[in-house]
């Protein structure tokens, strides 16, 4: 196993880069980061729309969330693969196809995480801001969201782990990422599948486990800081049905 890593670590880490497209583990992490960064504003919009005072807006947002939750990620990926180039009128690289699918899919799940964070805030926060004369948007952006996002930080890290795991499906449409690199390596070596796929699995495990453990640590820290806050409010755990989604 050690020998395979020694001979192929560049392929697994960065793919053919700099002589070809970026791939490997670095591409996987970049894909997940780009997906999260772009999905974030969309998710906040959906989350706020989900608890909007206007019923039609609530219904539309709930519809989007439910439809996306009903679709396998692979289906979203194929839509991104076939439909996005038609919609924007030019061909897309595999990298951006996968980012597009991640944004479409994760926005719905992230929105539920953020909504849970907003709804876990005491109602008094909004009432206090409104009675101080803040408008809807100022209340939202200056009072509600900063607290809600901070409190849902652990869940957001969990969602980042989901994104990392989802990028592995780029393998199916031949996007240069970590699983695809391992697949290439496996067909090159042909007779050492146990070693190759063990390296793949162990590396994913190290990356994702480190992140989930830091999320747990952060969760305890935040719970403690909420407990010790003014008024000695008891720590609330966020009611978050979607935070621990197992993803591909």
Partner 1 sequence: MGYEFDFSAVLTDQYIGWLLSGIRITLMLSAGAWLLSFAVGTALAVLRATNFKPAVWLVATFVEIHQNIPLLVQVLFWYFAMPEILPEAWRDWLNQNNSEFILAMIAIAMCHAAYISEALRSGLRAVPVTQYEAGRSFGFSYLQTMSYIVVPQALRLSIPPLVNHSLLLFKNTSIAMAIGVHELTYQTRQIDSDTFRTFEIFLVATILYILMSFVIMAAGNLAERRFGMGAR
In whole angstroms, give the CA distance from residue 44 to residue 108: 10
| Residue list 137-176, contact with partner 1 (CB under 8 A) | 161, 164-166, 168-169, 171-172
Closest CA to 119 of 60, 63, 52: 52
**Binding range to partner 1, per CB under 8 A, among 40-48, 121-129, 142-150, 190-198:** 190-198
Which is nearer to partner 1, 7 or 244 (by Cβ)? 244
The contact mask relative to partner 1 for 73-92 (x = CB under 8 A, - = no) is xxx--xx--xx--x------
CB of 167 vs partner 1, minimal distance in Å: 8
Q: By CB under 8 A, is residue 108 in contact with partner 1?
A: no
DSSP label at 72?
A: -
Cis peptide bond upstream of 18, omega within 30: yes
Q: H/E element holding 163?
A: helix 153-167
CB of 138 vs partner 1, minimal distance in Å: 35
Directed axis angle between helix 24-50 and helix 2-14, to 10°?
50
Which is nearer to partner 1, 82 or 141 (by Cβ)? 82
Nearest 5°: phi and psi at 47? -60, -45
Q: By CB under 8 A, is residue 96 in contact with partner 1?
A: no
Cβ atoms of 38 and 99 within 8 Å: the answer is: yes
Closest CA to 40 of 217, 160, 219: 160
* Number of residues this chain uses to bind partner 1 (CB under 8 A): 44
Q: By CB under 8 A, is residue 17 in contact with partner 1?
A: no
In whole angstroms, give the CA distance from residue 130 to residue 146: 16
Assign residue 234 a region: left if phi > 0, alpha if psi is -120 to 50, beta otherwise?
A: beta
CB of 105 vs partner 1, minimal distance in Å: 11
Q: By CB under 8 A, is residue 4 in contact with partner 1?
A: no
Alpha-helix runs per DSSP H in 142-192: 145-151, 153-167, 178-189
Query: CA separation (Å) from 195 to 26, 44, 73, 181, 223?
Result: 21, 42, 28, 14, 41
Which is nearer to partner 1, 68 or 114 (by Cβ)? 68
The contact mask relative to partner 1 for 206-245 (x = CB under 8 A, - = no) is --xx--x----------------------------xx-xx
Task: Indicate which single residue of 39, 102, 204, 219 sits in contact with partner 1 (rule: CB under 8 A).
Answer: 204
Which is nearer to partner 1, 152 or 179 (by Cβ)? 179
The contact set with partner 1 (CB under 8 A) reads: 66-67, 69-75, 78-79, 82-83, 86, 161, 164-166, 168-169, 171-172, 179, 183, 186, 193-194, 196-198, 200-201, 204-205, 208-209, 212, 241-242, 244-248
């Amino acid at each position: 196993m050690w020998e395979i890593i020694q001979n192929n670590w560049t392929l697994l880490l960065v793919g053919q880069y700099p002589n070809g497209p970026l791939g490997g583990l670095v591409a996987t992490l970049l894909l997940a980061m780009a997906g999260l960064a772009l999905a974030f504003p969309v998710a906040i919009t959906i989350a706020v729309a989900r608890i909007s005072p206007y019923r039609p807006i609530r219904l539309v947002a709930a519809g989007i969330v439910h439809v996306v939750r009903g679709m396998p990620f692979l289906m979203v990926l194929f839509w991104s693969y076939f439909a996005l180039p038609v919609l924007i009128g030019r061909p897309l690289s595999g990298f951006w196809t996968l980012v597009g699918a991640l944004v479409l899919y994760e926005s719905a799940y992230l929105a539920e995480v953020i909504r849970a964070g907003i709804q876990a805030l005491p109602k008094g926060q909004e009432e206090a801001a409104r009675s101080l004369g803040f408008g809807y948007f100022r209340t939202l952006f200056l009072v509600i969201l900063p607290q809600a996002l901070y409190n849902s930080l652990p869940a957001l890290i969990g969602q980042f782990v989901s994104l990392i795991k989802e990028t592995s499906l780029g393998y199916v449409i031949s996007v240069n990422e970590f699983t695809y690199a391992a697949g290439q390596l496996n067909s090159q070596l042909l007779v050492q599948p146990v070693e190759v796929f063990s390296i793949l699995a162990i590396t994913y495990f190290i990356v994702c486990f480190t992140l989930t453990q830091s999320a747990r640590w952060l969760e305890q820290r935040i719970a403690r800081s909420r407990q010790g806050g003014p008024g000695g409010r008891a720590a609330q755990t966020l009611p978050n049905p979607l935070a621990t989604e197992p993803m591909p």
